[in-house]
Structures are given as structure tokens and as C-alpha cells.
Chains A and B, each alone.
Chain A
Amino acid sequence: MSFSPLDLAAISVAVMLLLAPAAAVSGSRTPLMVTICFMLAAIGSLLGAYAGAMAVASGSVGSAVLAVGLPDLPFHMRLDPLSGFFMTVVGLLSFIVSIYSIGYVKAIAKHRPVTRLIAFYALFIAGMFMVILADDALFFLVSWEIMAAASYFLVLFEDERIENRRAAFLYMVVAHVGAIAILLSFGVLAGIATVPAAGLGLAGADPAGFTAFRGYTFDAMRHANVTPGWATAAFLLAFFGFGAKAGIIPLHVWLPEAHPVAPSNVSALMSGVMLKTAIYGILRVTFDLVRVFPWWWGALVLVMGLVSAVIGALFAMMQGDLKRLLAWSSVENVGIILIGTGLAMIYASFNSPVLASLALIAALYHCLNHAMFKGLLFMGAGSVLHATGERDMDRMGGLIHKMRWTAPLFLVGCVSISGLPPFNGFVSEWLTFQAFLLSPAIPNQIIRLLIPMGAALLALTAALAGAAFVKAFGVTFLGHARTPGIGAAHDSSRTMKLAMALAAALCLALGVLPSVVIDWMDSVPQQLTGSSISGSAGAFGWMWLTPVASERASYSGAATFLVILLVTAVVWLLLRVRAGSIRRAAIWDCGFEKLTPRMQYTSASFAMPIRRIFSFAFGVRERVKLVPQAAHRAFPSRIQYAIRISDRFWMWLYRPIVDASFWAARLAGMLQQGRIRSYLIYSFVTIIVLLLFLK
């Protein structure tokens, strides 16, 4: 008996859905239960990833109508290359993170019950799978809400801390506002998709009434004739709704709050793959459901992507909290993905399917890459958090000596996310640049002028991200321990190391073998734009990636990797030869004599130059306080420095909204007197007035 990819995907969803109540009932108190639960989650995720990969590789489309759903509104499922690709991304990272969770959650289980964590973890992954597999608006929204609710409870896992409750609430609010926008967007499309069926003829107009309603399926939306006005409304609503989930600036406020406070395995999933479901939604609505769109949609996506990328990178640079830094960097990476998406939309609207597929490949590749390295980095941050109990980088330092495995693996993640060869971040950012550089092919003068500026901003983003991760790695792992508590740190358990090593290996593989990966995922742009790039991209074999033409640009991950290995080996050998002549001594202290670890570069001091240059972007509050000595004021005994960097969007955009809603609530609250008779008077007067109007 053989299974189609769709069957396998359905089985993996079923495994995850069953695991949630099973974990809740079994209590999962013992370490063995934790291991079993996460093993099952890993197997289920891997199955989903395999199913998705199969669907992408074969380029086939499988669909099914489920027996569940509302009466006469059954759920539809579909696995095509686009959903297959995202299944792979979600499944692969969930697989790795599930392995990581075995060790991580066991450590948590020592001091608090983890049943909730396991149950919602499984439900969360199931929700993401279902979002991707859904082929009608109803199933999509139900899954979307399952995903949002499960992740809400995961953010709230350590609910005794007020910041966690605050972050979870903020997340819930933004998620709901976004979900309403998505609902309205599908409503627009479904409404239009329903009309032609009823308009076939007066006699045959909607003969079975409600039971024949099929407008809510994506298939009906695909075949609907959407007028440009309504299509724009649907797109703007969808972009807003999915943007809220993806953390596009200015809808990002929840992201740097919610991602850091969740348990680290959950942060890895939220940052690594949950944001991608929003990207999936944008791609699904624009390229698959609406299909024909004006170029300014793409320009809007591109500009929002650029803004998110630059501001995300700047704020990442400023953070002192390791996980917050990673969260802001997610905003940046979503921006980069949107840049690729926007370019693809622009090219597609100008009827250049080949260029559109190149940009799309860049965006999708970055989705996959970001899932891998952000997952790796969050897992690394989780290991650090677990080992030291700290998230503040200024209290760490020197961890490379204590965490001999985590440190190099974290470094791999840092190098990848900074977009350096031979790792994967380079490939996707390079492809995005290629897509930028092909813009002269566009027949619109304004865009031709504007797009190079976008490329410059992307370059700036890459540099800023690099600086942010030099800081993240340097302050956390290098130097000396800044606080005594760090000295007791230990490396993480075996499963955690294994998971991180797996993610790091994938980062390397995706960077070294890009043409193989692109060859695999070429069916996705084939489906969405009707064109593929594998013909040119892999024209020179698996070694060389030539997205357009070999005389234009080419990159060989494998060759780069070999050269880097060679140089490293030579340097290492040279150092070996000189090893005898290296003398170890105390650090030269410039004659000061009282060097302490606290005098090292801190995260704030490292970021200071960039903070000064881009000071217009932040709300910075700096405070220096001198504590004078008793003898004379000129000689301070202590200097205290405090800095607070705030997000201006909060002050300028969200505070007014919050204040206005509180004001409106107070106004409405004045109606509520608490006296039954007043309420009766309201009804009475309403009835009289309505009757008067009716008369």
C-alpha cells in the first residue's frame, strides 16, 4: 500500500492533533513521558516535511474533501508545490526543535509542570500544518486560530511573570486584529466567487441554496472574476492581516515582546516557522487566488519589506537581551523575505515570469534559511538561558569556555544570519541582490530608478545584521565572565546539542549545495508564475549556481567552502608550527592594575557608534549619574549609566490607539449605571424612537 504525499501530510497532522490530548491526559510528569511525547512530535513533523518535500519534488497537486467541518461546509485540503514547500520548512524545523525539546523540556520539568507546554506545542505544530494544507477559507481560519491560540498559551507558559502576561495579551490582540482582516479579505473573495454561480440563470439561481454554497473554497476563488477594485481591497486586507502575524513594521510591536518570553523551543518555532505561515498566506492570496495584480502591490510589499529589514536590523543591534535581539532580527529577516516577494510581484505584473521566479526563489530560499538559522540561534539562546539563567548579555561573557559545543554552533548560526559564505544566508541574500540587479528589465521608469535604492538599503541591512550578530556572539561567548554566576554554567544535554548540530549542518548544506535545493523547489515558481529558473540556474552542474546567465553572475558554494576550509587549515597548521613560541601571560592593563571583567565591551558600548549615527530612528533615554566622593566632588566614587531605547512606533502609533479606545470605553461605560431601571429606560426610549421613525 502506497501513500500519496497528501495522505502522509494528513497522517502527520493527525499524529500532532492526537498527541495534544494524549499529552494532556497522560500528565507527562516523568522524564520518560516527555521523551516519548517529543519523539512522537519529531516523527510527525518529519513525516510532514517528507510529504511536503515529495509534493515539491514531483510538482504534483493532491486535494481532498474531509468528512469534518460544519454541516454542508466540509473542510478542503490540498497539497501543491507551494504548500508542500512550506510543509517542508515547518516540518523540518519542528523535527529539529522537537529533538531539542527532549532535553530542554526535561530540564524545565524539574521545577514546574510541563503538561501544558507539551500539549500546546503539539497543537501549535498541528495548527501550522493545517494552515498550510487548508484549501478553503473556513478551514484556513479555523487552523489559523488554533495556531494563534496554541502559541498564545505557549507564550504564557511562565505566567507568573507580569511581562509574560503583558506580552501574551499584546500578542493576542494583534493576532485577533490580523485575523479579522484576513477574515474580511476571504469574505471579499468568497462573496465574489459565489456570485457567478447564482447568476447563471434565474431558474437555476442557487437551486439548493445554502448546501450548494462553494464560494468559500480556494478553488472557487481561483476561478472567480475579481474586479480590480475588490481585488485591491482583498489584497490590502490580507496584507494587513498576514503582516500582523509576520511582524511587518509597523505591526511588529508584539513580536519583540512575545518571542523572548516564550520557552526557547517555542521561540524557535514562532520565529523560525510561524512567521512563515504569514508569508505563505501572502503568496497564496496574491499569486494563487487573485493572480492578476497591478505593479504597485509589489511595490507596497517591497517598501514595507525594506522598512522592516532596516529598522529590524537597527533595533536588533540595540538590544541587550539575547532573545530580544533574535526577535528583532526576525523582523529584519521577514523584511528580506518580503523584499523578494515584492520584487517577484513587480516582475510578475510586468509579465516577466522568469525574473519573477528568480525573485520568488530568493524569497522562498530565505524562508527556508531563516527557519534553519533562526531556529538554531534560538535553540542556542535557550541553551545559554538554561545554563546561566540569564538573558541579559551584559551579565554573560566567556561562555565559549564553558559551553564548548553550543558556542561554535551558535557561531554557525551567527555567520549564516549575517549572510556570509559558505553558509546559507549568503545564498538567499545574494539571490535577492540578483533579483534587484535585474530591475533594468522593467519598462517603468520610476521603478527602475527606485529599485537600486532598495538594493542599497538591503546592503545596509545585511551589514547591520552582521554587526548585531558580532555583538551577540562576542558579548555572550567571548571575553571573561561578567558576573560570578556565569562561572557555574555547563553545556547542554545531548539531545539539545544534537538538534543544534543538525540545524547547523543544514545551514551549511543549504549554503554549499544551492543549485540542488533550487532544482528541488523549482516547481513552486512553476506553479505560481508559470516559469522556472532551473534551466539556467543549474546549467553548469551542481557546483555552480547561475541564476540568470553564467556571464552575468555565478556562485559556487562548494568551491567557496573548499577554499575557506583550505585557508583555515593552512592558518591552523601555521599556528601549530608556531605553537611552541606562543607565550601566555596576564593581559596588559595599561598600568591601571585593577582590570575587572566588567570593563569589557558591553552590548551597549558595542552598539554605541551605530546608535549615534541612527539616533533619529530610536527614542533613546540616556542617564549618567555621578556619585561623588565624600572628600571632593571632582572625584566620583561611582558612575552609573543607564540607557533605555524605546520603539517610537509604540509612542506615535499605538499609544494614541490605546488611549482612544480607553476613552471610548469610558464614554460607553457612562451608560452603565448599574441600575436596572436605567437600562429599562434605554430600551423604552429606543422602542419609542424606533416606532416614531417607523411611522
Chain B
Amino acid sequence: MNLALAAQINSFLAALVLVTAFGMLVQKRVYGLIHLFAWQGFFLSLNTAIVGYVAGKHHLYISSVLTLSIKVFVLPYILHVLVNRLKIRRDVETVVNIPRTMLIGIALVIFSYHLTSPVRELSTLVTRSTLAVALATVMIGLLMMITRTHAVTQIIGFLALENGLFFAATSATYGMPLVVELGVALDVLIAAFIFGIFFFQIHAAFDSLNVDQMARLKEGE
């Protein structure tokens, strides 16, 4: 596979990741969000495998498999189970002002490109052009956490943010050392379990998963 083709594929997958990120930003239904998250993970894993092939870094294959299994299968499955157990399957979240959120997201993408332009000129990697997308994904994940009030969507936002970080690592330096990636994968998995436990607790305490309810925990005036 020649480098030009690889760069093309890489860019295409980056675009898909960004599209799923935007999709998550506007998706109202919980199930839809989980599916989008799984798709994002799938594109990520595919991208990692291709980068690993092009750059000859074979440990990236392991990362790719890890990403595929955890982010495409295990985490969505856990989230599915949670949503079923907590009976929030049909919940439609009122997302405030979708057009404005989209505009902020677009501004963030432009900002990311602006920010990474010096890196693009210095770097020699095939994946250099996708660093901006990675950064944008991180910021959109954070933006999603800010605009959503539901605890489950906040977690999905957090996981999307983590996807962005992983993507950034792949595109900036051809991935982190394997040990680090293994550790991060384990962290994400454990975090998901802890989130799950907390969801049940929060649900029991507040009878809702709306994080704004937690403002009640604040000390009285």
C-alpha cells in the first residue's frame, strides 16, 4: 500500500470519527448514542490497524484489537445493560439548542486546525493531518459532557473524549507504548464498571440520573 493511499484512508476514517462525534452531539436517544459510540470505536480501531500496517508498528495491531473488543463490544454492551436495568431505554433527553451546540462544535474544529497547524508543518508522519480531528474529538466530547444533563450521556461523552485522546496518540506519534495503552484500556474498563455502580447509587438516591439534581448536595446557603 503506498503512502498516499494510506494517508487518504486515514483522512477518510478521521472524517468518519468526526462525523460520529457530531452525531453524538445531537443524538437525543440513549440507544442511538451507544450505537454511535460503538461506530466511533470501530473507525478508530480500523484506523489504528491501518496506521500500524503502514508504519510497521506491530504493537498497534494489539491496540487495534483491544479497541475493537472494548470500545465496540464490551463498553456498548455494559451501557446497554445499564440502560435496560435502569429502565431509561425510551428516555428522550431534551438537548438545549442543537443548532447552537453544532455551531460551537464547528468553531472547535476550526480552532483545532488552527492550533495544530504548526505541528502539521513540522511532522513527517503519514497521520499528521488527522491530529486536528483528534483534538476536535476531545473537545467535542467535553462539550457533550457540558451540554448534556443525563449521567449516562455524560459518561458516553467522557468515553468519546477518551477516544479522541487515543486517536491523537495514534496520529501524533503512531500510538503510545503498548504498556501505556494496555493500562489505559484497563482504566477505561474499570471506570465503566465504577460508573455503572455509581449510576445505581445515584438513581437510588435522587430517583433520577439528571446530574443537575446533584446540585442539591451543595452546602446550604
A interface residue numbers (CB < 8 A to B): 672-677, 680-681, 683-684, 687-688, 691, 695
Min C-beta distance of A324 to chain B, whole Å: 36
Measured between beta carbons, the chain A residues less than 8 angstroms from B139 are 684, 687-688
| Contact status of A684 and B218, CB under 8 A, knowing A676-B154, A677-B211, A677-B212 | no
Q: How far is the CA of A683 from the CA of B161 in the complex (A)?
A: 13
Asked if B149 contacts A677 (CB within 8 A), the reply is: yes
Measured between beta carbons, the chain A residues less than 8 angstroms from B215 are 673-675
| Number of chain B interface residues as a range | 10 to 19
Asked if A677 contacts B216 (CB within 8 A), the reply is: no
Asked if A674 contacts B111 (CB within 8 A), the reply is: no
Asked if B146 contacts A680 (CB within 8 A), the reply is: yes
Q: How far is the CA of A588 from the CA of B217 in the complex (A)?
A: 72
Q: Output the nearest chain A residue to B151 by Cβ-Cβ distance.
A: A676
Min C-beta distance of B85 to chain A, whole Å: 22
CB within 8 A of B142: which of A672, A680, A695?
A680
Instruction: Confirm or deny: B143 has a beta carbon within 8 angstroms of a beta carbon on chain A.
Output: yes
CB within 8 A of A680: which of B115, B145, B212?
B145
| Contact status of A674 and B142, CB under 8 A, knowing A688-B111, A695-B115 | no
Asked if A681 contacts B212 (CB within 8 A), the reply is: no
Q: How far is the CA of A672 from the CA of B214 in the complex (A)?
A: 12
Measured between beta carbons, the chain B residues less than 8 angstroms from A674 are 214-218
Interface SS of chain B: helix
Count A-B contacts at CB 8 Å.
39
Asked if A684 contacts B146 (CB within 8 A), the reply is: yes
Measured between beta carbons, the chain B residues less than 8 angstroms from A675 are 211-212, 214-215
Q: How far is the CA of A245 from the CA of B146 in the complex (A)?
A: 49
Measured between beta carbons, the chain A residues less than 8 angstroms from B149 are 677
Given contacts A681-B146, A683-B142, A695-B114, 19 further A-B contacts (CB under 8 A): A672-B218, A673-B218, A674-B216, A674-B217, A674-B218, A675-B211, A676-B214, A677-B145, A677-B149, A677-B212, A680-B142, A684-B139, A684-B143, A684-B146, A688-B111, A688-B139, A691-B111, A691-B115, A695-B115
A-B contact pairs, 25 of them (CB 8 A): A673-B215, A673-B218, A674-B214, A674-B216, A675-B211, A675-B214, A675-B215, A676-B154, A676-B211, A676-B212, A676-B214, A677-B145, A677-B147, A677-B211, A680-B142, A680-B145, A680-B146, A681-B146, A684-B139, A684-B142, A684-B146, A688-B111, A691-B111, A695-B114, A695-B115
Min C-beta distance of A34 to chain B, whole Å: 43
Measured between beta carbons, the chain B residues less than 8 angstroms from A684 are 139, 142-143, 146
Min C-beta distance of A348 to chain B, whole Å: 54
Min C-beta distance of A664 to chain B, whole Å: 17
Min C-beta distance of A680 to chain B, whole Å: 5
Min C-beta distance of A641 to chain B, whole Å: 42
Q: How far is the CA of A684 from the CA of B147 in the complex (A)?
A: 12
Q: Output the nearest chain B residue to A694 by Cβ-Cβ distance.
A: B115
Measured between beta carbons, the chain A residues less than 8 angstroms from B147 are 677
Min C-beta distance of B25 to chain A, whole Å: 14
Measured between beta carbons, the chain A residues less than 8 angstroms from B211 are 675-677
Q: How far is the CA of A673 from the CA of B217 in the complex (A)?
A: 10
